Amino acid sequence: MNSAIRADTDKSLRGPSTEPVADIALLLEGTYPYIRGGVSSWVHQIIAGLPEIRFAVIFIGAEQEMYGSAQYQFPSNVTHVETHYLMQHEKQLKPNSRKGNRRAFSEMDELHAYMRQSESIPSEKMINAFSRLGSGGGISKEDFLYSEASWDYITGQYRQRCTEPSFVDYFWAIRAMHTPLFVLADIAAGLPPVRAVHAISTGYAGLLGAMIRLRRNIPFVLTEHGIYTKERKIDLAQATWIHDHNDDVCNTLHDEMGYIRGLWIKFYEQIGRMAYAQASPIVSLYEGNRLRQIADGAAAEKTLVITNGIDVQRYQAALEKRPEEIPPVLGLIGRVVPIKDIKTFIRTLRMLVNERPDAQGWIVGPEDEDPVYVNECKELAASLGLKDQVKFLGFQNMLEILPQLGLMVLTSISEALPLVVLEAFASGVPCLATDVGSCRELIEGRSEEDRALGAAGSLVFIADPEGTAKAALELLNNPPRWHAAQQAGLERVKRYYNDKLMFSSYGDLYAKALDSGLAPARQPSVST
């Protein structure tokens, strides 16, 4: 049902089945090694920076058609790799008449009751639910899809709770939410022995971590770069594949959004809470996200902050290549996706070119994640007469691009701690960024001592091309201010965002996790 692949298919890497194949299993949803970008770069950086740790890479994607070949070459300390897809089309089960396990559905109803009330779920109930999920002793996939017990439960919940008239929409939403859980249960059951697991988000990867923790009683570490639940809320509020009964609230963040849309949001909120309940520690990249995790249900005593870091010396060559004159080039380095708000960047260029005809905007990053949005952005640039000024360069060597930029620009509507800002600072490029995530800390400093270094650029409002163009002009047209921002960024990244600090912190974190999990991982008893 699931595909498990290794780039070199070297079976000797697995070792004896009774021995751990890795120290840490990284649980990765939609990122490394198939998608390039900030999180994937960070994962590769952590693996390469801690060569004494053996890593397993467990990739979870939506559909196989969405991903191409691996974009990274695995370091030698990656000893096991699996690739799984949540929306499997092969080996579809045939419908067949079956009664179903009504006791298991009753237990799931109790679990849902806790979830609806946002209460802490007793561990024994989670263990019962997830250790037997997908088996005959719990709710099997066949029971969920085709049994009388499942039909009675879904129709009963619809009559009791759904406020929209379409049972068809409700039925398929429930199926779409829950069918991937059976894939996760299979991954958790089939994962070879590892000493600890580390999920790099909540969502499905975080829920898989919780399942493995409950089934095997091994340490589960969680790191969130962005807040997954918040980002899914943004995506779901704008999703056109969800059909709200009230079209007036479709595609908004309005409190009165349709029931099905709200159901999806609650689903991601609750699986996030499950991951928080089982993970320890829970890591964020900056204090604002740590507080958000606590507000979303994480226990404060389990949370901590470990900032990102980069190899500053690696960017010395880029710094030395910088021309004496300030290039009138704005660079947006990132995926061409709506959350990066590429359209605001393009509109910024239209306003900037009116004042600086020599200005250019370079969009540097992969374009394969959302082809429809990419096409909309290119059409917008053409319609604004910017074919010669706005360039879509795709994936490029950062060390070649950075010396050619006058400003790094992030127009994102959501960020965590963007590595591209640190890379820009190390290369001598000031930054403009929306006031999201840790961008204020990066540009203005996070402590009194840090702030004394000065601003390494400017903060701008979300979706404000006029304000962003004005801020760009104030830097590009004022060389003393630009050079002061450059020096502030250089000093800040050297002092506070060196990758050696990050490696040390994660090395200590892994050591504690592995020491606490020296006892053999227990395998669950699954009744049939």
List, in sequence order, every residue forming a beta bridge with 222; answer none if it has no partner: 199, 282
Nearest Cα neighbor of 318 from 398, 401, 403 is 403
pLDDT band at 125 (very low <50, low <70, confident <90, very high): confident
DSSP 310: B
Contact between 392 and 363 (Cβ < 8 Å): yes
If one counts every other C-beta atom within 10 angstroms of the C-beta of residue 523, the result is 12
CA distance 280 to 274: 12
CA distance 215 to 204: 16
Percent of the chain with pLDDT over 70: 89
Using only the alpha carbons of the chain, give its radius of gyration: 24
CA distance 118 to 110: 13
Structure tokens at 85: 């897809």
Which amino acid is residue 327, in one-letter code? P
- Domains of the chain as residue ranges with CATH: 1-92+175-309+498-528 (3.40.50.2000), 97-161 (no CATH), 312-497 (3.40.50.2000)
3-class DSSP state for residue 80?
Answer: strand
Q: What would the 3-class secondary structure string for 161-208 be?
A: HCCCCCHHHHHHHHHHHHHHHHHHHHHHHHCCCEEEEEECCCHHHHHH
Q: State residue 212 phi and psi, 5-degree precision.
A: -65, -40
Q: What is the pLDDT of residues 394-439, one digit of tens each?
A: 989 999 999 999 999 999 998 888 989 999 999 999 999 999 989 9
Q: 178-192, 244-258, 508-522: which has the minimum mean pLDDT?
A: 244-258
Structure tokens at 379: 């059409």
Q: What is the pLDDT of residues 280-320, one digit of tens each?
A: 999 999 988 899 999 989 999 999 999 999 999 999 999 99
For residues 484, 486, 488 and 494, what is the CA-based torsion angle, rounded to 10 degrees? -150
Contact between 402 and 390 (Cβ < 8 Å): no
CA distance 415 to 419: 10
For the chain, counts of helices (H) and of strands (E): 20, 13
Chain mean position to CA 217: 25
Contact between 41 and 215 (Cβ < 8 Å): no
Q: 4-8, 15-19, 230-234, 447-451: which has the minimum mean pLDDT?
A: 4-8
